[in-house]
Amino acid sequence: MRVTLSHRIALVPRAAQEILLRQAVGVSRFSYNWALTEWQRQYQAGQKPNEGALRRQLNSIKRQQYPWMLLVPKSVPQQAIKNCGRAFERFFHKEACYPKFKKKGLRDSARLDNGPGTFQIEGRRLRLPIIGWVKLREELRFSGKALSTTVRRIADRWYISVAVEIEMPETVRESQAAVGLDLGVSTAATLSTGEKLAGSRASDVNLEKLRRLSRWHSRKKKGSSNRRKSALRLAHLHARISAIRQDWLHQTTTRLMREFAVLGIEDLYVRGMLANPKLARNIADIGMGEFGRQLEYKAKLYGAELVMASPWFPSSKMCSQCARIREDLPLSIRDWTCAWCGALHDRDTNASTNLRCYAIDRASCAQINACGEEGSGVGPLG
């Protein structure tokens, strides 16, 4: 099985190379905004814009109107326009909102190569068009065909993301167990085994420092050197919080995929949940959307099966013993007793148990025993 994985590595550029990297992300941002403006203009004029025509249009005028684009690799503006085309494609398929203009300093990135063979990796260094050889903090983790390189600036540090196509061998699993997983706010994740996983709590731990730096930054005069320095300190803290959260997510999702062959989880509407101002920070701190995304692609890598339950599946309100549904169950109630069978439930554990039964019932296993279950009694949905 061929899969494409990306490895993000920190760069150690020289001063001259950093200038070129800054120019590259600037050209990428300008090209994307130019394409978005031109797309809107052509559409309002009754034309049918597309990213291929826009790339040819920019190529015909950039030497006269934008000669500074020639200072960076030619793939930078071309890839930015392709990204704009993909953004519109996702919008047309109702997978994302209408494309927005890019702002300086927010998610600065640029693709620097022009396909395989236009860049080279040797140990802890990388050769890029025009920029030349750049030092890497570590060697490339994957061995395979390197497809592309994308540079990104986070705070004042530079990173390169290398996409590599590798051949994955068929996975032979020793464990064939099934598990249900319920994501929550007070507890990040609850397993049907009874185990409760505490999240990284990266925002909570750094919340006071984050508020203090934000207050300091708001008091600095706009355009001053002190404001730029405070913005950089604030960006460093945000980057640290993001790194802590990502580390917890990767370690937790990898462990789950290694231990269980079938995993049931609810397909939560995270965007709607973030609209609740009282829960938004805790929900974002857990990273529920990213949690599901990582489980989805890692299930293919580890030969596991991920079963997603509908957002309307009553995982918390259904009794895991008799399958009766309690209609009124507000979030404030964490423990409840079934009125029909008298079973006492922990809200999160009961939900994860129901999700486990849901996953076993809908998994592709031919028999329940193949999922690591003893006998045929697996709960109300089995």
- pLDDT score of 84: 95
Tens digits of per-residue pLDDT, 285-318?
888 888 989 999 898 888 889 998 888 888 888 8
Provide the annotated active-site residues. 182, 266, 348
Chain position carrying tokens 């109107």: 65
Domain ranges for the chain, please list them.
2-167, 178-201+250-371
pLDDT at 272: 79
Task: Give the DSSP letter string of 266-300.
Answer: E---HHHHTT-TTTHHHHHHHTHHHHHHHHHHHHH
Residue 174 sits at φ, ψ, to 5 deg, of -85, -40
84 φ/ψ sector (left φ>0, alpha ψ -120 to 50, else beta): alpha
Per-residue pLDDT of 260-281, as tens digits, reads 989 999 888 777 788 888 878 8
d(CA 374, CA 355): 18
Per-residue pLDDT at 90: 94
Contact 48, 38 (CB under 8 A): no
Residue 180 has which token pair?
């249900």
Q: Which residues of the chain have pLDDT under 70?
A: 172-175, 364-382
